[in-house]
Structure 1
Amino acid sequence: MKLNKIMLAAAMTLGTISMANAANQGSGSVTFKGTIIDAPCSIEPGSLDQTVKLGDIASGQLKNGGKSIPQDILIKLVGCDVETAKTVTTTFSGTESDATPGLLAMKGSARGASIAINDIDGKVLALGKASKGQQIEDGQATLRFSANLQGDGASAAIVPGEFNSVADFKLAYQ
């Protein structure tokens, strides 16, 4: 009987030690971020921090104020209270181009062009100007815009290189 107690104690001790030395088979952490906003709609998380890839654009395409092919910018609104708001306008802001007022300045080694943000009709939406209202239907809306690179005019020399820029947006509900 005394031998059984000794064996049981030894087995329990060895079992505990082996569990303590088990290899880590993966671990990590999950960070949750968000903001509670005082607005009729929530902004879908994928719409908050977007990257619009304008692509590799031939310098000849930008000569004399030429434009690249527009790429979509979609801002998705969900969970909208349509009792409070029926339409929404969007205002973009950022560092304005010195060469082409109303357009977004580029950062990087490329020169001679600026970034145009266009409204739902494909017309340039100047920085700091509100877009026309877009409808909120069935508690949601997809606000449609586009962006393209535009040459700064006939006198601007197009200098190839990389570029980037950041535009922020603000929504206003009516």
Structure 2
Amino acid sequence: MQQLQLFPNLTEVVDMCISYFCPRLVLLFMLLPVCAKAVELKVYGDLVSEPCEVNLKTSELLVEFYSIASRSFYLYPRSNPQRFEIALENCDIDLAKTVSVSFSGDEDPLQPGLLAVTGKAEGIAIGLETEQGEQLEINRGKARFTLQKGSTLLNLRAYLQASKENIEKHTIKEGEFNAVATFNLTYD
């Protein structure tokens, strides 16, 4: 039985390819610059100095609500707030006097301005506020703080809130939940 050999000698195949294709590729590459067009590249930016540094321990914050009975929302639609803080260091008040903090994330469809949760729990959302109770709406609210020379703490609170619709229909569902928001700092 005879075996069909497509490439009996690999060296011959390589030599054939080089002798056939290389001259044609050189010719093709010689023609390409004739068709080329010059493109202008514009680069610009703005180098700034930030008045404060975010403490690395608060660059990723974790707010824990622990266990809350789902039936408590039928009596009190809002949980007790959990405190958290954003720590700023090395603040230079010659560069800025105030800082505004805002939060971005997925907004709850039933409770505009509140952060939507994911997981097994349903009918609740997370609200954010200042220590004085000023609401910080997700994706549009902001709170202004006065900077202190050196270190400044931005004291904030998070709370859970059940939607009016879920309270009326008794459809608050228990289970684990989580949410992610990004804080943004703007210096003035």
1:129 aligned counterpart, secondary structure? coil
> In structure 2, what is the equivalent of residue 3 of structure 1?
none
What's the CA shift for 1:145?
Answer: 0.7
> In structure 2, what is the equivalent of residue 164 of structure 1?
178
What's the CA shift for 1:152?
Answer: 0.8
> C-alpha distance in 1, partners of 2:78/2:116?
15
> In structure 2, what is the equivalent of residue 49 of structure 1?
60
* Unpaired segments ≥5 residues, structure 2: 1-47
More relative contact order in 1 or in 2 (CA 8 Å, sep 6+)?
Answer: 1
> In structure 1, what is the equivalent of residue 115 of structure 2?
104
2:71 aligned counterpart, secondary structure? helix
For residues 1-174 of structure 1, what are the structure 2 equivalents within 5 Å? 38-63=49-74, 66-153=77-164, 154-155=167-168, 157-174=171-188
- Amino acid in structure 1 at the alignment position of 2:183: F
Identity of aligned residues (%): 34
- For 1:126-173, what per-residue CA distance to the aligned partner results, in whole angstroms no more than 9, with x for missing partners? 012342311111222100110011011133511010000001000001
> C-alpha distance in 2, partners of 1:109/1:65?
21
Indicate how the Cα distance of structure 1 residues 139 and 130 shifts in structure 2: closer, same or farther if over 3 A, else same: farther
- For 1:41-70, what per-residue CA distance to the aligned partner results, in whole angstroms no more than 9, with x for missing partners? 000011100110011111122227711110
* Unpaired segments ≥5 residues, structure 1: 1-36
> C-alpha distance in 2, partners of 1:123/1:170?
17
Give the alignment's TM-score, normalised by structure 2.
Answer: 0.69
For these two proteins, the number of residue pairs brought into alignment is 138
- For 1:11-43, what per-residue CA distance to the aligned partner results, in whole angstroms no more than 9, with x for missing partners? xxxxxxxxxxxxxxxxxxxxxxxxxx8411000
Q: Answer whether contact 2:114 2:127 (CA < 8 A) is retained.
A: yes
Indicate how the Cα distance of structure 1 residues 118 and 139 shifts in structure 2: closer, same or farther if over 3 A, else same: same
Give the alignment's TM-score, normalised by structure 1.
Answer: 0.74
- Amino acid in structure 2 at the alignment position of 1:60: R
